[in-house]
Structure 1
């Protein structure tokens, strides 16, 4: 999988990628629902080369940026430069993450990563990482292909989601704050139905 994504990021400009957005308005709209903190640590399980990184840095957040593609991370580092507020990680998000990030994440933002995991063991691995990393009172924003969306992206089969399945997989430790159906228009003009779900981790008693 790492080779697959490295090939894509090596052979295409960012603006040619099927998931390219020239702004992060849709994601930032959901983040505005989260009570402000002086600083927040945000984790992106599949950062890619998204402009979301730039928008979050402009807001003063601490970022932990993960991707399965080291080519994407290299391109991202070149664009944003050295920054004390950024840590880069090269992990398969379906496999265990380092213990050092356990309960340190204020906000977990996934735009179109989870839906590439097909095996149940990989999906469970993803959610195990999420549950371990997000602190009590933290938030998770998932944005995945909806059940009415395309069956493939980047040449790969997808596991498409309803808000009901998202909520079920998030489990009893999280409560749904807001969800929304969203039509993303890709660079070639194609429409891609998404479902966005914002969840809050229930404070430990």
Structure 2
């Protein structure tokens, strides 16, 4: 089954956020990488597959501007309902992240993907994703990934996933990107099940 807006709308409308399999009480592991990015305040951050993550509020608290993308309008509406921020701080984008992004969305300083890329399993969709990343991420800026590792579960949310190694992530990025650091992390989901992830921080150098 291909990831679709209908599938994700049903998931986000049918469960409390804290019951979702990818729910995090905080974004500690993401910030282990983010803390290596200088001057987060006033930078623009793109969150593909933002969902309803608490990372959104934590980035706003750091002074970042956001582009919040999700294939699910239900997820974005949940976020809109809980946020109290100026509209000029957030761009809202409801679309499949493998499809071309409108020029109305600004270029960004940081791209943070937590558990989105691995839901793209068709080669054309994966290439479309990386084309978007390269078209929107400024030179000198950073990309962070957190994806199911090669030892991770083969499915999530009822969908087959494409599991990654840091080597494959590096190969799929162009030579314009340099790996800064990476680590493995086993996330324990709300059901108590272990989910092995690979985390990576890249800098775009050219």
With the shorter chain as reference, the TM-score category is over 0.9
Query: Are 2:171 and 1:146 aligned?
Result: no
CA distance in 2, matches of 1:89, 1:54: 17
- Of 78-87 and 186-195, more deviation after overlay is shown by 78-87
Query: Are 2:92 and 1:108 aligned?
Result: no
CA distance in 2, matches of 1:38, 1:52: 15
What residue in structure 2 maps to residue 91 of structure 1? 95
Query: Are 2:23 and 1:6 aligned?
Result: no
CA distance in 1, matches of 2:40, 2:32: 16
Cα distance, 1:88 vs. partner? 1.0
Cα distance, 1:151 vs. partner? 0.2
User: Runs ≥4 in structure 1, deviation > 3 angstroms?
Assistant: none
Query: Are 2:68 and 1:65 aligned?
Result: yes
Give the length in aligned residue pairs. Answer: 202
What residue in structure 1 maps to residue 184 of structure 2? 181
Cα distance, 1:44 vs. partner? 0.2
Report SS of the residue matched to 1:164. helix
Cα distance, 1:91 vs. partner? 1.2
Cα distance, 1:198 vs. partner? 0.5
CA distance in 1, matches of 2:190, 2:111: 26
Alignment of 1:97-136 (within 5 A): 97-101=101-105, 104-136=107-139
Query: Are 2:167 and 1:164 aligned?
Result: yes
CA distance in 2, matches of 1:202, 1:109: 17
TM-score by length of 2: 0.96
Cα distance, 1:146 vs. partner? 0.1
Q: What do you get for the CA RMSD once the two structures are aligned? A: 1.0
Question: Structure 2: 5+ residue runs without aligned partners?
Answer: none
